[in-house]
Amino acid sequence: MRSVEQIIKRSFFSALALCWFSQISAQENAPFSRYGIGDIYPSQNIATRGMGGVSAAYVSDQALNSVNPSSYSALRYVRVFGGSKGAMVTYDFGLTIDARTLRSANPSGSYNSTNFIPSYIMLGVPLSPKADAKNRNIGLVFGLRPATRINYNVEDVTRTSIDSVKTLYEGSGGLNQVFFGLGKRWNNFSIGFNAGYEFGRKKISSKQIFINDTVNYYKSNITSTTDFWGLFFNPGIAYNIKLSETNSSVGSFKQAYFLRLGASGTIEQKLKANTDSRAETFNYDANNATVSLDSIYEVKNILGNITIPVTYTAGFMLSKKYVVGTNPVATKWSFGVDYSAGKWVDYRFYNKPDQLINSWMVKAGGEFIPSLLSTNLLSRSTYRFGFYTGKDYINADGNGYNVKAFTLGIGFNLKKWSNYDNQSTLVNTAIEIGKRGSNVNNITENFFKISLGLSLGDLWFTRRKYD
């Protein structure tokens, strides 16, 4: 117990350090994050990212699935050596290295950037030690994750009647979420929800500089900093159907086929916002930092709202599982399909729309384990594959941006739980290779993401007979 608690503490403070480090040293330049609330960060765990992001009907007691909170009901108490029960508490942490290449057709050019981003921190605890044959299981999850990110630096040079003008557009910030979730199961039916507080900042500026070797024009800078905050609610449901049971068995396990249906969504959110705006003339000092010369105008505490629209996800997953009695305990293989959408034409920033359109995405993927009971690490590891395709919510040039990607992943079961050893360690990896935009877009983006997730399991709340 003490070792896991120490790991949690160390990982928590490491994650905070990583968040801070990514803010001060990120090389990312994502022009698409200029629009709306920024680039939407994937909410899937690392395991499902390797499966194309299929999450609506995915359930696991080792990798927490916050996309559909009804899956929290899979968290369970188990019987340990000596007959007592213990709660299988799961700690899940993920991070991503995101490499992007921006390409412009006119003018021709390209730009590479790399960013290192913590994905989420979650802690899952089962709450039903007396779960009976009707499977009335309850799971509680606490989490912290980034929801969107804003980070861009775009330069534009135009010719006026006086001289050429260079305009530098810059932006930073993003939206973060801290939440708790509950999931409960009655027989084959599960429901759940995530609820929490989200907060963030959007800081943007537009600097204009006349390009002239003989006349020293004033440089201008218009900045706007918006802080926003509010509550969010994410419900989810799922239904598990046992299709058939095979006669073959592996050890003491039987095998059966299951079809799981799932759906989740986020209701419309009204975030409160506070904006400070300033226009000034400036110059650069010896360190290339801006130095204000004269303020043209400054307005503080402009209150308003940001409307984030309804989004939803629905899908199915077909699986072959190992069962004990009537309860599935492990997965041999599974394959699923999701459809997700968002009504982003309803987005408003201080009652104003943005260059956004309704988004949709189709995701498909699967996983399999060669040999669950093997002592060989590679044989008992989980192998995943998938793809996704759809339409992004950003519509910067009026043509829309298609998004498509292929994914691969492996889950390494480094340390299996047993009655004699009350800890487990699962390392999930995922690779995404994809593109945003097509021939109809002047600017396109190729991306390559490597994600790593660490899932630690430990027995808590056990009664010790010997100490």
Domain of 240, CATH number, reads 2.40.160
% of residues, the chain, pLDDT over 90: 53
What radius of gyration, in Å, describes the C-alpha atoms of the chain? 25
> Which amino acid is located at 252 in the chain?
S
Give CA–CA dist 408/400, Å, rounded: 27
Q: Is residue 399 in some structural domain? A: yes
Residue 226 has pLDDT above 60, yes or no: yes
Q: How confident is the model at residue 80 (pLDDT cuts 50, 70, 90)?
A: low
Q: Is residue 465 in some structural domain? A: no
The residue segments making up the domain with residue 319 are 2-460
Residue 303 has pLDDT above 80, yes or no: yes
Span 311-340, average pLDDT = 88
Give yes or no for a contact between 307 and 284, defined as CB atoms under 8 angstroms apart: no
Cβ contacts of 29 within 8 Å, gap of 6 or more: 102, 111, 113, 151, 152, 153, 154
Q: How confident is the model at residue 201 (pLDDT cuts 50, 70, 90)?
A: very high
Give yes or no for a contact between 338 and 360, defined as CB atoms under 8 angstroms apart: no
Q: What's the chain's average pLDDT?
A: 84
Q: How confident is the model at residue 293 (pLDDT cuts 50, 70, 90)?
A: confident
Q: Residue 33, by phi and psi: left (phi above 0), alpha (psi -120 to 50) or beta?
A: alpha
The pLDDT score that the predictor gives to residue 420 is 45
Which of 402, 404, 406 has its CA nearest to residue 431? 406
The pLDDT score that the predictor gives to residue 297 is 85
CA 319 to chain centre: 24
Task: Among 1-5, 43-47, 62-66, 254-258, name the one with the lowest average pLDDT.
Answer: 1-5
Q: Is residue 275 in some structural domain? A: yes
Residue 12 has pLDDT above 50, yes or no: no
Span 99-116, average pLDDT = 85
Q: How confident is the model at residue 338 (pLDDT cuts 50, 70, 90)?
A: very high
Give yes or no for a contact between 236 and 64, defined as CB atoms under 8 angstroms apart: no
Give CA–CA dist 210/334, Å, rounded: 60
Give CA–CA dist 68/51, Å, rounded: 16
Residue 203 has pLDDT above 90, yes or no: yes
- The alpha helices in 298-404, defined as continuous H runs, are 377-380
Residue 278 has pLDDT above 80, yes or no: yes
Span 179-206, average pLDDT = 94
Q: What is the dihedral of CA 367, 373, 377, 378, to 10 degrees?
A: -40
Span 318-324, average pLDDT = 86
Give CA–CA dist 351/348, Å, rounded: 5
Q: Is residue 466 in some structural domain? A: no
The pLDDT score that the predictor gives to residue 25 is 39
Residue 357 has pLDDT above 80, yes or no: yes
The pLDDT score that the predictor gives to residue 15 is 41
Give CA–CA dist 42/30, Å, rounded: 15
DSSP 395-456: -TTSS--EEEEEEEEEEEEEE--BTTB-EEEEEEEEEEEEEE--TT-SEEEEEEEEEEEEEE
DSSP 34-57: GSTT-EEPP-S-HHHHTTTT--TT
Q: What is the pLDDT of residues 404-447, one digit of tens each?
A: 999 999 999 886 544 445 667 889 999 999 999 999 998 899 99
The pLDDT score that the predictor gives to residue 213 is 58
Give CA–CA dist 344/353, Å, rounded: 9
Q: Residue 364, by phi and psi: left (phi above 0), alpha (psi -120 to 50) or beta?
A: beta
Cβ contacts of 348 within 8 Å, gap of 6 or more: 305, 306, 307
Q: What is the dihedral of CA 233, 240, 339, 193, to 10 degrees?
A: 0
The pLDDT score that the predictor gives to residue 18 is 39
Task: Among 38-52, 322-336, 351-365, name the one with the lowest average pLDDT.
Answer: 322-336
Q: What is the pLDDT of residues 213-223, one digit of tens each?
A: 556 777 888 99
Q: How confident is the model at residue 212 (pLDDT cuts 50, 70, 90)?
A: low
% of residues, the chain, pLDDT over 70: 83
- Phi/psi at 33 (5° precision): -75, 0
Span 221-234, average pLDDT = 95
Q: How confident is the model at residue 17 (pLDDT cuts 50, 70, 90)?
A: very low
The pLDDT score that the predictor gives to residue 361 is 97
Q: Is residue 467 in some structural domain? A: no
Instruction: Give the DSSP H/E element, type plus range, for residue 15.
Output: helix 2-25
Q: How confident is the model at residue 301 (pLDDT cuts 50, 70, 90)?
A: very high
Instruction: Name the domain count of the chain.
Output: 1
The pLDDT score that the predictor gives to residue 292 is 78
The pLDDT score that the predictor gives to residue 291 is 76
Instruction: Give the DSSP H/E element, type plus range, for residue 204.
Output: strand 189-211
Residue 35 has pLDDT above 60, yes or no: yes
